[in-house]
Chain A
Amino acid sequence: MRTEYSPFIASALVVLVFLIVFQCCTDSRMERRQQRLNAFREVLPEDILREFDGIEHRSDCQRVGLLLSQAREENTSLDASIDSIMHAELIDCFTDEELVRFFWLYFAYALEENAVPEP
């Protein structure tokens, strides 16, 4: 009489299939930052988005931040959307300039430079 391994083999196969499907469904840290950046870019008005995409240096963030502040004062739905993003990103206490710098330096610039370290 030999030892029966079929329950183990069948279980292992099920788990293997599950893990292969799972592997295909997960995003890398870069992809996730890109998604977070896209969420921020989507709420920006077109003119501010153009300015945001044109940032080349840290010092440009101040100008874009001021533009964003003005737009938020004029547009309550934009203000609420930005507040919601800030809450999700845990940056509620940031100024608009700091917010722009955060998304430019750690998201747009970091992605462009391929400088997002995976764990």
Chain B
Amino acid sequence: MIEPHDEYHLHHRLGGVIYPMTVHSEKGRDTAVTVLILLAVTSLCIVTGPGTFDGMDGAELAVAGLRLEIPHSPGYPLFMWLLRISSGRSYQELRIVTCLLSGLAAGAVYIAIRSFAIGFSASAATSILLVTSGAVLSQLNLLEVHGLSLLLASLSIAFRKTRLGPYTFGMSVFGGHPISFLLLPVLVNRTWLRYWFLGLIPATMWLYVPVRAAGSTVMHYGGPSGIGSFIRYLGMYSDRITSPSLSGLNNFIAELGPATSVTLLLGILLSRFSWRRYAAIAGILFIFLCYGIPDITAYSWLLLLPLSIQAAEGFQTLLERKRKTIWVISVWVALVVSAASGIHSGLDRRNDAMSIIFSDLFRGIPPDRVLCTTRGTSYFCAYMLEAEDMRPDITALDPMGIIYSFSLLHGPVRTIPSEIADRYVYATCAWGDLPPSGILFSVERPRLSWNGYDVFNENVVPEEEMPADMLAEIWCIRALQETDERAASAAYERALEYAASDRASASIRQLIRNHEQGLSQ
């Protein structure tokens, strides 16, 4: 009797140019499993995602997507178009679109694994293992490009032996995330090489940035419409390639959790060696070691994709053994434990720290003032103004003149004026190095009383470094403005408790020293 996976091998041996995704008799089952996975993962992402905007790129992507403008490099044209054509207008509504993409991605992962002649159970179990792992689910449930990237990367694997292979790979690189090119060793074959040029067609999507930049008024990154400025825009993260460090990999393993790590490792140990997959894994590991961005674990899906295919083979070996029932139960128990820990980790990260911080920022500004935002705060302020439509009375600008339509301050300015056009200016940065920036400064008096701010009344628990540092700064600003000495000391202590990064802690300690020196004089 020929088992389903044997039939796949048979087709391989026959050397069919067009890769059989499923054998005819299994067509209905594959369709049903794909749709079930799509519905389950979409629902899971919707339920486990944050209630308000996240502390990463979500706010920026929402504004750029709503206005069809330019987010950070490389611009994610396909993602911007998808956000724009959806009728969503807030983070939550746009997140529904990304949750759907994540559901589709999970189904595509299943089909991609199936295309390696791996049976139903092992493929379904491994695809669920991948998307429910803490490292991946915590990205798929956000307003982020990773769901779309995983979908396109999985399709490029599923279609690798068809004429569509190079095209889907091109879509994955230029429409998803460029880092997907590291999957190339898994994809290349004779058919792929024959039609490689089709992979260049999606590259035209990148024309979106120079074409759209000329007309963008908000989120335009300096309007990279010329060749020089476009190349500079594309290379804006090139300085992040650093000497190797294990921190990215350590964070990946920590976010993956012990249950998923052990399950994957077991599968990998039982699988046969494939130089193509290990070559892809080696390339991706290099990025994890040398790409010095704080959220490198956001790319966990890329590392887990070839690892999962490898692990699925191992699970398949287990399922082919005698006394099959025991192994089927074992694999599914491991999967449930892994998924539970991943979902728990995803739920754990839900918090509204950023929303509270930025709501308070606007709360402190009297009517018809100018708000000058700096660095990271600009994207969240732009989101509040553009997407949430809060405080239409405020005129926003940034010192670089790249985020808002109003660019009275041309180019980088060192000093923010206290008034512009007879309007008081409120600034989110008034000192040099305390990262990422301050929360609210103005020469105008009186201010809203401290009790009017939610951030001082609620127990805000930030999960990420950026909101934690911002909370530290808010308490610093309060400390600086407190007239009562004991209240100032207590505020500094709270600031130190919140500070997550070394730079923030060092800056706060410096502020405390300055404060004490001022008192002694």
Given contacts A7-B33, A7-B35, A11-B104, 6 further A-B contacts (CB under 8 A): A1-B16, A3-B20, A19-B86, A22-B87, A26-B88, A119-B67
Cβ < 8 Å to B, chain A residues 15-33: 15, 18-19, 22-23, 26-29, 32-33
Per a CB cutoff under 8 Å, which of B19, B107, B363, B390 touches A11?
A: B107
How many cross-chain pairs have Cβ atoms below 8 Å apart between A and B? 112
The verdict on A15 contacting B93 (CB below 8 Å), with A3-B20, A26-B87 known, is no
Most chain B beta-carbon neighbours within 10 Å: one of A11, A26, A94: A11
Kindly list chain A residues whose C-beta atoms are within 8 Å of the C-beta of B452: 92-93
The verdict on A1 contacting B111 (CB below 8 Å), with A7-B30, A14-B35, A15-B100 known, is no
Kindly list chain A residues whose C-beta atoms are within 8 Å of the C-beta of B31: 6-7, 10
Per a CB cutoff under 8 Å, which of B19, B22, B387 touches A119?
A: B387
Interface residue? B365 (CB, 8 A): yes
* Shortest beta-carbon distance from A103 to chain B in Å: 11
Interchain residue pairs A-B with the least CB separation, the first 10: A7-B34, A119-B66, A90-B362, A93-B448, A106-B392, A4-B21, A26-B87, A4-B22, A1-B20, A23-B87
Kindly list chain A residues whose C-beta atoms are within 8 Å of the C-beta of B448: 92-93
Residue of B nearest to A107 (CB): B392
Residue of A nearest to B18 (CB): A3
Size of A's binding interface in residues, CB under 8 A: 36
Interface residue? A73 (CB, 8 A): no
Per a CB cutoff under 8 Å, which of B27, B88, B96, B363 touches A6?
A: B27
Q: How far is the CA of A19 from the CA of B85 in the complex (A)?
A: 10
Interface residue? A2 (CB, 8 A): yes
The reply to whether B20 and A98 form a contact with Cβ atoms under 8 Å apart is: no
Q: Assign chain B's interface to a size class.
A: 35 or more
Kindly list chain A residues whose C-beta atoms are within 8 Å of the C-beta of B21: 3-5, 7
Residue of A nearest to B447 (CB): A93
Kindly list chain B residues whose C-beta atoms are within 8 Å of the C-beta of A32: 89, 389
The reply to whether A93 and B87 form a contact with Cβ atoms under 8 Å apart is: no
* Shortest beta-carbon distance from A110 to chain B in Å: 8
Kindly list chain A residues whose C-beta atoms are within 8 Å of the C-beta of B386: 119
Kindly list chain B residues whose C-beta atoms are within 8 Å of the C-beta of A4: 20-22, 24, 27, 30
Residue of B nearest to A86 (CB): B363
Sample of 25 A–B contacts (CB below 8 Å):
A1-B16, A1-B18, A2-B20, A3-B19, A3-B20, A4-B24, A6-B27, A7-B30, A7-B107, A7-B111, A11-B35, A11-B104, A14-B39, A18-B42, A18-B100, A28-B89, A29-B89, A87-B363, A89-B391, A90-B390, A91-B363, A91-B367, A93-B366, A102-B393, A105-B393
Please encode chain B, from 87 to 109, with 1 for each CB lying within 8 Å of some chain A CB and 0 for all others.
11100010011001001100100
* Shortest beta-carbon distance from A80 to chain B in Å: 15
Residue of A nearest to B22 (CB): A4
Kindly list chain A residues whose C-beta atoms are within 8 Å of the C-beta of B107: 7, 11
Please encode chain B, from 28 to 40, with 1 for each CB lying within 8 Å of some chain A CB and 0 for all others.
1011011100110
Residue of B nearest to A28 (CB): B89
Residue of B nearest to A93 (CB): B448
Interface residue? B350 (CB, 8 A): no
Interface residue? B364 (CB, 8 A): yes
Residue of B nearest to A18 (CB): B100
Interface residue? B494 (CB, 8 A): no
Interface residue? B162 (CB, 8 A): yes
Interface residue? B359 (CB, 8 A): yes
Residue of A nearest to B364 (CB): A93
Interface residue? B349 (CB, 8 A): no
Q: How far is the CA of A8 from the CA of B367 in the complex (A)?
A: 52
Q: How far is the CA of A3 from the CA of B390 in the complex (A)?
A: 50
Interface residue? B11 (CB, 8 A): yes
Kindly list chain B residues whose C-beta atoms are within 8 Å of the C-beta of A15: 38, 100, 103-104
* Shortest beta-carbon distance from B329 to chain A in Å: 27
